[in-house]
A and B are shown apart, each in its own frame.
Chain A
Amino acid sequence: MTDNNLFFYILISIVIMLVFAMAVIWFLNQTQRKITEGKLKEQERELDFQKEMLLNTVKTQEGERERISKELHDDVTSQLSIIHLNLHLLKRKLDADPELAIIIDHIESSLKNSTERTRTISHELMPAILLKFGFHNALKELANGVNLTEVLDVNIIDDQKIQIKDQFKLLHIYRVIQELLNNTLKYAKAKKVDITFDTIGDELIMSYQDDGQGFDTKKLSEGLGLGNVKTRIRLLDGDINWDSDLGKGVKVLSKFPNYD
């Protein structure tokens, strides 16, 4: 074999091996990409499934709350009202005895408190106003309810920017605000809360800010309340961030799509 031929064969062999190597690498890359895509799809399916599960859990929870709320409102409060009426009649008949009148007054006062408390619990469990008069009025009533205590001054700004019509989604937002207010009332020692709604494109930005004692965000625990807030924001396809420091109040920013 001449040098020329050998050179040619070696060169061809080098090219063939190079092409083979490239082909192997290309094939592996393609396969790896497909595997990665498959894994991503699987993860997406898993996330969708988890979201569906969460949604069903929350729906069941809301359904149960509604049922208990109705029971309390329609049954327990009615019965308490009947007892109140009967007590009133009894009081009239026993007016002559001052000792008994004091006891009955005491029972009447307790009964009145119990009826009021039952109504409040029933209302907190399922705000009928949200279903009957809409989100705006429900939020207003929630703020008024807190403001009446004179412990906290709640301001709601621009809530008419909300374009969401789905009652269930609105209920999520309502519950988030309710939970945040609960936390402020329980732990923050705040005087003022501002809840502001704004839009950027198709997204709704909800800002919740109190002037309380704040907390170290590194120590933020996923207690039931905050866990519920996160779950509901996740069900709204949104995300939420806490910003706080000791003595500097709390700022919660959440954003989610402003449509159904």
Chain B
Amino acid sequence: MDILNDLFSNPGITKALPTAFAETLQMVGISGVFVVLIGLPLGVILHTTAPGGLTPAPWVNAVLGGIIVNITRSVPYAILMVSLIPLTRMLVGTSIGPVAASVSLTIGTVPFFARLVETSLREVDFGKIDAALVMGSTRLQVVRKVLLAEAMPGLVAALTTTLVTLVGFSAMAGLIGGGGLGRLAYNYGYQRFDTTVMLTTIVIMVVLVQLIQFVGDRVSRRVDHR
């Protein structure tokens, strides 16, 4: 079995793959955290400022939803990451490496996550919000204790989908210097016709996505009491 031998002797796998895998996790981890930190409040604001929402504000809603979120989402990620290189240099001092790649990953994914958050929040029955207001809740209490708490299963599912998307995007980011499994597959599998590395990378990606989805589904079900 040539492939089996190759699996343990190919430097592309024994030397480069562990580093690449760590870089992928780093990219997904860093951008995942920032996507939640920025996207969650953005999604909440999109929901509460909508007409009939908790604090209707047509202008804020139009600017955030119509312009920023929709425009960012309409630029394909491959183009976005290249066009963001100057900004990345400004923020982290370099455009190479997983940390640098996380900048464009975050910016490219925040609008996607924010929309998913908004959709999950929309599922929360208005009766519950009214009930909380009648009981004397402040608006912030309504957001924390009603909107976010009641939408938790949907929010976990949204995060799962976003992390899977980030894994895919991170492979693309690898091509322009982000590193990770994307670059590994490109350098070894595509440039050097190394089928073993290519297949191994694919298997690892599939397992990683399955794992994220599995854990996400479990957690989502755990917090779902409906």
Partners in one complex: no
What is A's interface to B at a CB cutoff of 8 Å?
none
